[in-house]
Amino acid sequence: MTDNGTLGVVAVGASAGGVEALTQFASGLARDLPYAFLVVLHMPPNAPSVLARIVDRAGPLPAVTAVHGARLQAGTIHVAVPDHHLLVEDHRIVLSEGPTENGHRPAVNALFRSVALVYGQRAIGVLLSGVLDDGVLGSAAIRSRGGTTIVQSPTDALFASMPLNALEAGVTDREVLAAEMGGVLKELATREFEEPGMDPDERMEVENRIAMSRRFSAEIDAGVLGPPSGYTCPDCNGSLIAVSDGNYRCRVGHAWTADALLSARDEEVEGAVWVALRSLQEKATLSRRLAERAGAGMMARRYIQLADEAEHAMTVLGDRLPKAHSASGERGG
């Protein structure tokens, strides 16, 4: 047991389809599980914070909205609040306004990384339904510190991308139905720990400090984490650092995985196409008005040609918009 009376911490991460998965997960938990639970669901920053009530009704363990500074205790589920990372330090909850990760705050990767550093072997990561590759880096962090990772079976998830990406990355130890994870946790509670010494992971510690930083803080320069990647951050347009393969951060701390960055680029492209479409529409309308005013002659023909060219370009862009939207939807949910 740790000095706060728990065997360790179970960090649970979910995104799209996560409410259903979390209720199934909570329903299968036993009252005597010797773990503190921390739950992150990717949610909009202004979303109402009702998830704790939903999870509380779903199973036998009490679920509460996470409170900054609260001490972790076995048998309680602490649920993240909107627009704050859910982290741990000295067996207490830290609610942080640090930089977003994959556009999210709270973020699954930030939670998993935090519990990996604090709890090591005693950290268990549970990855549920969601899109893109959120949670893959966090699961890898938990395993690198001797912890255990469990993933919801993709066939059991409403959105299978997150579980599938974790399985394909080889960062999971068990694949289970959400409702059956309580039994796996009970089995894991019988383990004995040798508590081997582990070398510090400086990069992981820097990323954790970035997540714990204040909003708009520039105290930590993420540039120390790696070389320039050649890409720019969708959040602030700053240059992105290649922390590792498929893992990027800008200098002020925003984090992106390759899949999330690609999805953000789709959104940027679609936004740019809409701006271009509006500009071409205005150009065509104005050109035809000028042609009417010019009457017959060379100037009128020039304006008509400009209008025709703008309308042709509108047709081409109009064909591009559904494709951009479809690609973004497939990756980003």
Helices and strands per DSSP (H, E), number in the chain: 9, 13
List residues with catalytic annotation. Answer: 15, 42, 134
* Among 127, 218, 207, CA closest to 164: 127
Contact 263, 328 (CB under 8 A): yes
CA distances from 251 to 79, 209, 212, 265, 305 (A): 29, 13, 15, 19, 47
Ramachandran category for residue 237: left, alpha or beta (phi over 0 → left; psi -120 to 50 → alpha):
left
Spatial separation of the C-alpha atoms in residues 202 and 208, rounded to whole Å: 10
Residue 240 dihedral angles phi and psi, to the nearest 5°? -95, 140
In 3D space, the residue among 211, 235, 236, 210 whose CA is nearest the CA of residue 223 turns out to be 210
Quick count: other Cβ atoms within 10 Å of Cβ 164?
Answer: 14
Determine the distance from the C-alpha atom of residue 254 to the mean position of all C-alpha atoms in its chain, rounded to a whole number.
Answer: 11
Count of beta carbons in the 10 Å neighbourhood of residue 313? 17
Token output for 277: 């479409």
